[in-house]
Structure 1
Amino acid sequence: MTTPPRSAPAALDTATHPRKSPAATRALTGEDAVLRAAYRLCRRTTRQHDPAMYALVQLMPAGLRPACWALWAAATALDDLADEPDVAPAERAARVEAWTVSLVHDLAAGTSSDPVRHALVDAAGRWRLDLTSLQGAMASARDDAHDRRFADWAAWRAWCNKEVVPWVEQVRHLFEQAGAPMTLRLDRQTDYERFVDGAQLTDVLTDLSTDLAQGLLLLPQEALEPFPGAEEDLLQGRWSPAVAALITELAALARRRVTRPAMTTGMHPGAAIVLETAAGLLRAQLDAVEAAGPTLLQRTPRPSVVARARLLVPARLRSTLAWSLTPLTAPTVPGPRRPKGPTPSVSLAAENTGLRPPPSHPSGARPPMIPAGRMPAHVAVIMDGNGRWAEQHGLQRSDGHRAGTAAVREIVYGALEIGLRHLTLYAFSTENWKRDAEEITAILATLQSELDEAPFRDLDVRQRWSGRPDRLPEDLVDSLRREEARTRARTGLTLTVCINYGGRDEITQAAAALARAAREGEVDPDHLNEDDFARHLPHPDMPEADLLWRTGNEQRTSNFLPWHAAYAELYFSPGYWPDMDRRDLWQAITEYSRRQRRHGAVPGRLTSPDTHHSPPHTQPDPRHRAR
């Protein structure tokens, strides 16, 4: 699924004689004419702005189509506002922001005077969609009102993911709520990511003429550099041999990325047909791009009616049969008199609205003042000693893991208070599968319980997961990914929890991804460097660890973050993990601040603490306190 084409008209269709509402819209039992009209408008918007997207929605179960129309029409409305011609960038950004803020109020009220938002609010309540994950996509649409440049494919991909993935995740959640989950094979994650890349690259090539007319070239410098002169020619609207070679290269790259036959293996046949047809339509679009030649810079290319019919006619027949075999859950009917105020299932807070500071330590302890130049950006923690703590207290080892969750909360609170940017916790290693089955079950159940309780829901914490999905319970993986999506746009502490993680395995995955990239012509094996490798790690934006802290009176790194912790300062403490609290984190950071970091260079003078990090108050050494 791609973002709305930038060639779409700015105004939504408000014809006074709409077509007869489809069966899916008529099925909205008990709803008034205004709501039905809103859904019809979303349907028309989808059909007019992108016939291919409309065709894909028609392959979905009829009951899900109105919600898909509402989601797509909302994405289109935002994109239109961001690209509105003859409007200054600052004004376009302000209009996107105003639309987003209005949606927050509309969700709280349960209705809207804007027809697209009215349909979206209804769909969110009807299907219990959590729209908080769209926050980053809406912010990206706002930022799209300004010039956008990308140094490399990694930066381009990050932009694409921020714009597209949250909307795709909403559709996936919609299928889940209907009882027809669009299950993605956990071992094919790279295929899904590459498919999204290919879909976005196809979209950029398709809308090249519209973007260039606005002075935009949404391609990374890394892609342009091998074709000298192509960038200048494109911006001047000139078709040249360099431009032709660039388009041929990028179209071939997009084609490879959207051709992922194994992606639908094991998926529900209805969902598989939707994705396979999407891939076919994207390839047909790329055929049109390549056939356009110089006209690509003048108008938007489209596949022929015959090419589309060859794909869509059999797909409709197959999808009708596939979905007829799947009983779907009926949506709830929220009704016009829902309680006022936002509910967790439909709230969409602005970036920092509604977030609270962490609770204070019971003792009243406050974090130490650390000079900004001495503050680590990334602290990684091996949380060791849960089982031994339990044995020491005459308890089962599983009780120690449950007790360790309180320490996790404390450390996160302390990280927020002192202003730490990145915290990575080692929760379950690939080697931990060797433990007793009862203990493994207890650890995984504890992790699931903590995710269900969501103790950091109202804190400025961006939650991420690193590790392999293999062997983990599907519910746990779904919860981890849901928290990632829900908190994606938060800007405070980035908390990465490593579950079923192994450092060598992470490096092996990166090597495999790099090999695939080389095979597909994305990188040159003869000119690889460390940055190329780092870009293919599971979390390429994770900074190097400055401090690696291990509890439990053990002094080894245990296959934890070998790439990121290559130059980390090591800190070992004797206490078991359940006995730790935020003051122990502050003590570790204080110790780090006293060390001289060399990185192989000649020792120099320590950085002068001309600025201090975080709270302007005095604080005794955190080591001097009673347990």
Structure 2
Amino acid sequence: MRTTPRSTTQDTEAAPRARWRRLAARSRSGEDPSLRAAYRACRLTTRQHDPGMYALVQLMPPALRPAGWALWAAANVLDDLADQDGAEPAERAARVEAWTKALRRDVAAGSGSDPVRRALVDTALRWGLDLSGLYGAMAGTRDDVRGRRFADWAEWRAWCDEGVVPWVDQVGHLFERAGAPMAPRFDRRGDYEHFISGAQLTDTLTDLGSDLAQGLLLLPREALDAWPGAEDDLRRGRWSPAAAALVGATTDLARTWVARPGLTRGMHPGAANLLDTAARLLRAQLDAVDAAGASLLDRTPRPSLAARARILAPARVRARLAWSLTPRAVPAPRRPAADASGPRPAVAADTVLRPPPPHSGGARPPRIAADRMPRHVAIVMDGNGRWAQQRGLPRSEGHRAGSVAAHEMVYGALEIGLRHLTLYAFSTENWKRDTGEITAILEGVRRDLDAGRIRDLDVRQRWSGRPGRLPEELVQAFAHEERRTRARTGLTLTVCLDYGGRDEITRAAAALARAAQAGDVVPDLVDEEVFARHLPHPDMPDVDLLWRTGGEQRTSNFLPWQATYAELYFTPGPWPDVDRRDLWQAVAEYGRRRRRHGAAVPLASPRKPPTAPSAPL
């Protein structure tokens, strides 16, 4: 067997790096010097402000690193504006707001004078990112300067979801564009959310001293009350046994959240390497917090250089190997209209939202009083197959016609201002149907997602159900739409696919049991609110109106937890025959009903006959 000479091995290892340099040089050849300087400024800002994040960005594909610098430089600039020493909270909030408004203007113009904003806008143009998802996080940074108070860990994690997840989502979009998606499997979505919360909690503990100097203690009341006296001691700068116990317990909780061994299963090796390395760096940072003791109140703890090297050196080797197998060039710069002959491409196709198309017959939406409008309508879309059979068509044609009716429901919901619409598309029991029909249903859903008929409407799209039996590409398509539309504030559309209500409750009970086993939940304190937090979509409001088409009068295991007090509405016609006018009629019927939620309504007192006036004396 021939042995490869050492020089040849070195040449082989150097070849991918040389190819990356050539690709990067070609992609930068059309850039102006000021844009290159903007990216260099972002790189320097990230390296100076957050060495750990800079090290992680270096594990990204070379083509994505400038985009990573731009994102984290922007996040750091906003944090700096929010944390400026010597400035009043109102002044700091105003500076964050001014920077955010300037970013909006730069997005509209396609460029800008500020180097960090210019690099961020250029990144969005090159990679097709939607920066509108960051505006909510920026508003949260603005509000943080006035201090935040959290009742419990659920509120704390909601704050984390608002302020951190949008930035992480942008990185996920970048990896998707580079052909190396880092989105976790749907059955690991809870682990992913816990991991991000663990990263934020690690950051909170690391910055404990500097936050206390500004009067901030960003831990929930639930944690503070567990160690009486700890809050007062920390605010006074005293490292007492209670304060040490609080920090120790919170550090242990952060370790639990970042320890998610199955999180990267099935990911591209480069993306998995980045997340695994992030978890190792977070654990090293938590070790530094533990070792700091009382000095945590005076300085920011950091892992030793040796500890960082033990983590990063092998990670860099794995990254070079992984990305050499998935080469990706930096996209060419995309110019605004003033610099190009054609129309300026939007930063993302869905940043400009359009109204729903009008009804084909010219029907206008009714005006519905706010106190007569349901907040959440759920629909069992029944009768597709029968509709097709009555017309001598294959059942698959009924499902195709049913998707048109589903679009009509979305249009009609937007027109009347409905906030939540949930559609029952495929149940856990529907697997008993003919294989051909199942395939037609699932392929139709995938075609619908790809066609994007509601993509540029103000609709936040979500999915509820089990991922295990669905095609992986369909699950990933749903995940992509969820991430892309998460910042929208109009209609929340939830599609239930491979969904069963009892199954949802069973999985929530299992999640609650795991939380109790991990010490996150006290079993004796579990109530309806605590249980609901462990449902797949804990923010889904109760169903006000449950409507079923097709003539059947049962709820068929649909949203049993959320629909306990729903008004039921049944109509005889099959689903493909309905349009938005039928939704308006259902909402009008809801408005005529009296909802008591178990309370007694006093009967009206019988009217007394009028008394004859007394005769004058």
Task: Provide the secondary structure at the position in 2 that maps to 1:455.
Answer: coil
The amino acid of 1:156's aligned partner reads W
- The aligned counterpart of 2:264 is 264
* Counterpart mapping for 1:155-304 below 5 A: 155-182=155-182, 184-304=184-304
Residue 333 in 1 paired to residue 335 in 2?
A: no
The amino acid of 1:562's aligned partner reads P
User: Out of 416, 419, 423, which is 1:418 matched to?
Assistant: 416
The amino acid of 1:372's aligned partner reads A
Q: Is the 8 A contact 2:64 2:330 kept in 1?
A: no
The structure-2 alpha-carbon separation of the partners of 1:508 and 1:29, relative to structure 1 and needing over 3 Å to count, comes to same
Inter-partner Cα distance in structure 2 for 1:62 and 1:344 = 25
- The aligned counterpart of 2:370 is 372
Q: Is the 8 A contact 1:107 1:346 kept in 2?
A: no
* Counterpart mapping for 1:62-211 below 5 A: 62-182=62-182, 184-211=184-211
Query: Offset of 1:199 from its aligned partner?
Result: 0.8
Query: Offset of 1:267 from its aligned partner?
Result: 2.7
Which structure's CA Rg is the greater one? 2
- The aligned counterpart of 2:564 is 566
Query: Offset of 1:49 from its aligned partner?
Result: 0.9
Inter-partner Cα distance in structure 2 for 1:605 and 1:199 = 57
The amino acid of 1:409's aligned partner reads H
Structure 1's unaligned 5+ residue stretches are: 1-21, 607-627
Task: Provide the secondary structure at the position in 2 that maps to 1:263.
Answer: coil
- The aligned counterpart of 1:549 is 547
* Counterpart mapping for 1:378-389 below 5 A: 378-389=376-387
- The aligned counterpart of 2:508 is 510
Q: Which moved more, 1:431-440 or 1:511-520?
A: 431-440
Query: Offset of 1:163 from its aligned partner?
Result: 1.8
The amino acid of 2:345's aligned partner reads T
Q: Is the 8 A contact 1:205 1:289 kept in 2?
A: yes
Q: Is the 8 A contact 1:357 1:459 kept in 2?
A: yes
Q: Is the 8 A contact 2:121 2:347 kept in 1?
A: no
Q: Is the 8 A contact 2:195 2:258 kept in 1?
A: yes
Q: Which moved more, 1:492-501 or 1:376-385?
A: 492-501
Inter-partner Cα distance in structure 2 for 1:25 and 1:48 = 24
- The aligned counterpart of 2:485 is 487
The structure-2 alpha-carbon separation of the partners of 1:341 and 1:94, relative to structure 1 and needing over 3 Å to count, comes to farther
The structure-2 alpha-carbon separation of the partners of 1:592 and 1:317, relative to structure 1 and needing over 3 Å to count, comes to same
Query: Offset of 1:478 from its aligned partner?
Result: 2.6
Query: Offset of 1:577 from its aligned partner?
Result: 0.8
The structure-2 alpha-carbon separation of the partners of 1:339 and 1:100, relative to structure 1 and needing over 3 Å to count, comes to farther
Q: Is the 8 A contact 1:133 1:485 kept in 2?
A: no
The amino acid of 1:447's aligned partner reads V
* Count, aligned residues: 580
Structure 2's unaligned 5+ residue stretches are: 1-20, 605-617
User: Out of 518, 521, 530, which is 1:520 matched to?
Assistant: 518
The structure-2 alpha-carbon separation of the partners of 1:605 and 1:514, relative to structure 1 and needing over 3 Å to count, comes to farther
The structure-2 alpha-carbon separation of the partners of 1:24 and 1:542, relative to structure 1 and needing over 3 Å to count, comes to same
The structure-2 alpha-carbon separation of the partners of 1:131 and 1:400, relative to structure 1 and needing over 3 Å to count, comes to same
- The aligned counterpart of 1:5 is none
The amino acid of 1:85's aligned partner reads D
- The aligned counterpart of 2:433 is 435
* Counterpart mapping for 1:343-492 below 5 A: 343-346=345-348, 349=351, 354-492=352-490
Query: Offset of 1:555 from its aligned partner?
Result: 0.9
The amino acid of 2:499's aligned partner reads Y
* Counterpart mapping for 1:598-617 below 5 A: 598-604=596-602
The structure-2 alpha-carbon separation of the partners of 1:452 and 1:100, relative to structure 1 and needing over 3 Å to count, comes to farther
- The aligned counterpart of 1:29 is 28
The structure-2 alpha-carbon separation of the partners of 1:358 and 1:186, relative to structure 1 and needing over 3 Å to count, comes to closer
The structure-2 alpha-carbon separation of the partners of 1:250 and 1:27, relative to structure 1 and needing over 3 Å to count, comes to farther
Query: Offset of 1:426 from its aligned partner?
Result: 0.9
Query: Offset of 1:340 from its aligned partner?
Result: 7.1
Inter-partner Cα distance in structure 2 for 1:348 and 1:384 = 31
Q: Is the 8 A contact 2:27 2:329 kept in 1?
A: no
The structure-2 alpha-carbon separation of the partners of 1:492 and 1:63, relative to structure 1 and needing over 3 Å to count, comes to closer
The TM-score, its normalising length taken from structure 1, stands at: 0.87
Query: Offset of 1:581 from its aligned partner?
Result: 1.7
Inter-partner Cα distance in structure 1 for 2:183 and 2:447 = 22
The amino acid of 1:419's aligned partner reads G
CA displacement, residues 314-364 of structure 1 (integer Å, 9 cap, x when unaligned): 22223323333x132212212553467663553684xxxx44443443444
The structure-2 alpha-carbon separation of the partners of 1:339 and 1:241, relative to structure 1 and needing over 3 Å to count, comes to farther
Task: Provide the secondary structure at the position in 2 that maps to 1:170.
Answer: helix
- The aligned counterpart of 2:573 is 575
Inter-partner Cα distance in structure 2 for 1:169 and 1:32 = 29
Inter-partner Cα distance in structure 1 for 2:140 and 2:153 = 17
Inter-partner Cα distance in structure 2 for 1:563 and 1:474 = 28
Q: Is the 8 A contact 2:103 2:117 kept in 1?
A: yes
The amino acid of 2:356's aligned partner reads P
Inter-partner Cα distance in structure 2 for 1:276 and 1:547 = 45
The structure-2 alpha-carbon separation of the partners of 1:26 and 1:446, relative to structure 1 and needing over 3 Å to count, comes to same
Query: Offset of 1:589 from its aligned partner?
Result: 1.9
State the Cα RMSD in Å. Answer: 2.4
- The aligned counterpart of 1:59 is 59
Q: Is the 8 A contact 2:378 2:546 kept in 1?
A: yes
The amino acid of 2:196's aligned partner reads V
Q: Is the 8 A contact 2:281 2:311 kept in 1?
A: yes
Inter-partner Cα distance in structure 1 for 2:41 and 2:203 = 24
Inter-partner Cα distance in structure 2 for 1:91 and 1:348 = 33
Task: Provide the secondary structure at the position in 2 that maps to 1:123.
Answer: helix
Q: Which moved more, 1:73-82 or 1:273-282?
A: 73-82
CA displacement, residues 190-236 of structure 1 (integer Å, 9 cap, x when unaligned): 22121111111101111112222222222222222212232333333
Inter-partner Cα distance in structure 2 for 1:76 and 1:24 = 29
Inter-partner Cα distance in structure 1 for 2:341 and 2:515 = 51
CA displacement, residues 154-202 of structure 1 (integer Å, 9 cap, x when unaligned): 2221221222222222222222222233352333222212111111110
- The aligned counterpart of 1:312 is 312
Q: Which moved more, 1:42-51 or 1:146-155?
A: 146-155
The structure-2 alpha-carbon separation of the partners of 1:486 and 1:270, relative to structure 1 and needing over 3 Å to count, comes to closer
Query: Offset of 1:25 from its aligned partner?
Result: 6.8
Query: Offset of 1:370 from its aligned partner?
Result: 4.1
The TM-score, its normalising length taken from structure 2, stands at: 0.88
Q: Is the 8 A contact 2:334 2:345 kept in 1?
A: no
Q: Is the 8 A contact 2:374 2:545 kept in 1?
A: yes
Query: Offset of 1:42 from its aligned partner?
Result: 1.1
Query: Offset of 1:240 from its aligned partner?
Result: 2.3
Q: Which moved more, 1:288-297 or 1:452-461?
A: 452-461
Task: Provide the secondary structure at the position in 2 that maps to 1:598.
Answer: coil
- The aligned counterpart of 1:621 is none
The structure-2 alpha-carbon separation of the partners of 1:26 and 1:368, relative to structure 1 and needing over 3 Å to count, comes to closer
Q: Is the 8 A contact 1:382 1:425 kept in 2?
A: yes
The structure-2 alpha-carbon separation of the partners of 1:94 and 1:488, relative to structure 1 and needing over 3 Å to count, comes to farther
Inter-partner Cα distance in structure 2 for 1:256 and 1:500 = 31
Query: Offset of 1:503 from its aligned partner?
Result: 0.9
The structure-2 alpha-carbon separation of the partners of 1:494 and 1:55, relative to structure 1 and needing over 3 Å to count, comes to same
Q: Is the 8 A contact 2:230 2:240 kept in 1?
A: yes
Inter-partner Cα distance in structure 1 for 2:413 and 2:219 = 37
Inter-partner Cα distance in structure 2 for 1:309 and 1:97 = 39
